[in-house]
Each structure stands twice: as C-alpha cells, then as structure tokens.
Amino acid sequence: MKRLAFFFVMSSCFTLNCLGQHTAAELCVKDLEVIPGFLLENDTGAKEHLAQFGQKHFDDAMAEAKSAAMKVSDDDGCWDVLHQYLRAWRKGHLEVSPKDLGLAQPAASSSAKTPAVPRKDAPRFQILSKKTVLLTLKGFMAQNREPLVELLKSNHAALAKHPYWIIDVRGNGGGNDSTYDSILPWLMPDEMVNVGELWLATPANLEGHRNFCAIFTPGDTECEKDLNEAVARTRNAPTGSLVPQDDKGSISYERQTPLEPRRPSRVAILIDGGCASSCEQFLLTTRQSFNVKLIGRRTYGSLDFSNLRPFALPSGERLLWYATSRSLRIPDLPVDLAGIPPDIYLPLAKGDHAKEEEVNRVQSWLEGGSLAPKNPETDSKPSVHN
C-alpha cells in the first residue's frame, strides 16, 4: 500500500518561551522522557518491539540515554542521544528531526524568471548501447512523480527499442509509492500479489493524517486522496484498533493495466543497503515479474511499519517521526529483520569508480557476457561494446 514521505511540521505552542528558560540538557531529557509512552500508544510497531525485547531492554536503554542527555550542551548532542535511544526500538521508520525540517516553501510567483534547479535525486535516463538503457531512480519523493512521468514519455521510443534495462535504485531512501506507478506498465505483465496494511487508530494519528498533505505537499491531489481515505477509515474507530487501509482484504491479486505494448525482455534492478521504505516496496512489487532480477546487496530493511507522522516533542525544537501503519506481511514475511535479499549477490566493489563498474558488469551480463569483474591484466578491451 501507499507510503508517504514524512517530512512535515505540526503547529504547536511548544517553544522555548512556553517552557521558560531551560538548558539544552534539561530540554533533551524532557523530550526523551515522553517518547516511550507516546510510542506505545501511537506507533504501530512499539508494542511488538516491547514484547520481543522485554521491558528490561528498554529500561536499560532509557537509563543510558538519560545519563547521556544530562551531559549534552547543544541540539546536535541531543539529536545523537535521541537517535541512539530510538535504535533500541528499531533501526528505521523511527526518527527525530529539527522542528522546521520539510516545511513546504511557498510557490514561486508566475512572473519569476529564475529557472528551476533539478533535484539531485531526479530520475535520469541514459542509453548505454544498442540493446541496453539505464534508468537511475535515486528517490521516490512526491516531487519526483511528474519528472518520472515526463522522462518515460519523452524517451518512450528509445525505451521501447531497447530490450535490456538496468534500473539503479542504490541509495534510494524511498518516499511515496505512487511516485513509481508510471514505470509499472513497462515491468509488470504478470499478475501482481498485493499484501494489505492496517492503520492504527488514535487521536494523534488521526490529526497527523489530516495535516500531512497541506503542510508537506500542498496541492498534491494523490496525497490528499490517500489521506482523506485514511481519515475516513480511522476517525470513528476505537482508539488503539487496527483498521484496514482498503476493502481488498489482506491479499489481493491484480493485473497491471494498461500495459506498454513493447516492454523490456530483461530488467536488472541494482540494489544496496541504501534502498529503503518505498524503494523496498518497489522491489517487492517488481520482482514478481518473470523479466526482473534484483542484483547487488541486501536492502536496508525499513518497511514493515510505515507511513510516518510527526509528533512535536516538549522542547519545541524537535519532531518525533513514528509509524502509523503496519503491513499484513508480518510476521510471516518481514522486511525489517534483514532487508530484501538480491536474486544475484554482487559483493561491494572497491575503488572510486565502483558504482560505475557495477553498471558495466550488469550490462555485460544482460548482453550475454559475464558479471565477473574485469581483469585489467587480461582484458585489454571493454567487456561491452556500444
């Protein structure tokens, strides 16, 4: 189901003036102390983590964190303490950020002449040879949805002409599942098995759903549609109950429509430990196609508990980001435990050009050559010819 990017800010009276004059250490301790109670009430994974690790594990983690918090002298020191404490709960989809991180900027005036600056994680397309193309997808934030649509549209003829694709999602930290919808007609000719998710219904989570899109992605109709549905499903549910995200059931079986008439015959998706959240959902979906292979290393492992919302911590300086949904894959098919393994393991290469060399090796393999690294002593020519 849909995962939405989580950088947004809730309005709050919590400011330094509200709390009076406090040292950085005192504010850090205040923030720390409210976290476990809030998580156990509102985070979809917290109670399971408590049952798994036991109360002593979290008591020890709190004692250690509180001792460290009493010694901090600035916000950076407190962030390190809180970050380390949250890792005692789980390694991903649980974070602290500055209060103003992700606040949406006002749209530029229509009369402005300043050219748009491309995002560093914007999708990119490259023709490698007569048979192979490279799509680089470094982020699935909502801002990349339309650029990906446009990239696929403007390069449609070249994409249809090339039978082999490499899709590079190494380092893709995720964002929003709907961002990659436009590429699925190229990759998914077979039936897709989709596993549902559950919302945790609480007042804090309901408020988070209501405010998310307006503050983080104003005008994003896809976001508004998804979270209006979340609000409708959870607003009358008993506090603490788990509510299905849709009416499809725990597992649904669907065909991708429409389909591109000329799809690639071989697709290699390059993965690594930087692929997380919506990137991992992209892999769970696309690896169901008979034409797709995952190559590289295990992904990060941050998907079972998702759809993050912010909670303003008492200091007024920080936000706690926590999960409001739970996948029905667990406990049978967890991703957080060890990430998603590749179909073909490609050990981490060394050197300044390791990432480029991995692309070259995969291109060689797709075109009938070998995945083996090039030996400069015996290979005088490139393994792949344009």
Q: pLDDT digits over 259-280, tens only?
A: 999 999 999 999 999 999 999 9
How many angstroms separate the CA atoms of 337 and 237, rounded? 30
Residue 113: the pLDDT is 40
Higher pLDDT, 34 or 377: 34
How many angstroms separate the CA atoms of 274 and 383, rounded? 28
In the chain, domain spans? 16-104+304-324, 124-302+334-366
pLDDT in tens, 294-350: 999 999 999 999 999 999 999 999 999 999 999 999 999 999 999 999 999 999 888
Residue 309: the pLDDT is 94
Residue 14 pLDDT > 80, yes or no? Answer: no
Residue 375: the pLDDT is 73
CATH number for 16-104+304-324: choose from 1.10.287, 1.10.760, 3.10.28, 3.30.750. 3.30.750
SS3 97: strand
Q: In this structure, what are the phi and psi dihedrals at residue 155, rounded to the nearest 5 degrees?
A: -110, 25
Q: What is the average pLDDT value for the chain, to the nearest integer?
A: 89
Of 1-15, 254-268, 353-367, the least confident: 1-15
Residues in the chain: 386
User: What percent of the chain is modeled with pLDDT above 70?
Assistant: 87
Beta strands in the chain (DSSP E): 95-98, 124-127, 132-136, 164-168, 192-195, 197-200, 242-244, 251-254, 266-271, 292-296, 305-312, 318-327, 344-345
Q: How confident is residue 386, by pLDDT bands cut at 50, 70 and 90?
A: very low
Handedness of CA 296, 301, 304, 305 (dihedral sign): negative
Of 329-333, 355-359, 382-386, the least confident: 382-386
Q: For 44-53, what is the mean pLDDT? A: 97
How many angstroms separate the CA atoms of 122 and 136, rounded? 8
Residue 21: the pLDDT is 54
Q: For 52-66, what is the mean pLDDT? A: 98
How many angstroms separate the CA atoms of 129 and 134, rounded? 10
Helices 24-42 and 46-53: crossing angle, nearest 10°?
100
Of 203-217, 234-248, 323-337, the least confident: 203-217
Residue 229 pLDDT > 60, yes or no? Answer: yes
Fold topology of 124-302+334-366: 2-enoyl-CoA Hydratase; Chain A, domain 1 (3.90.226)
Residue 285 pLDDT > 80, yes or no? Answer: yes
> Half-sphere exposure of residue 264, counting CA atoms within 13 Å on the CB side?
30
Q: What share of the chain is helix, strand, coil (3-state, %, to 5)?
A: 35, 15, 45
pLDDT in tens, 108-142: 333 334 344 567 899 999 999 999 999 999 999 99
Q: Same CATH topology for 16-104+304-324 and 124-302+334-366?
A: no
How many angstroms separate the CA atoms of 186 and 243, rounded? 33
Predicted structure pTM score = 0.88
How many angstroms separate the CA atoms of 267 and 183, rounded? 12
How many angstroms separate the CA atoms of 267 and 367, rounded? 11
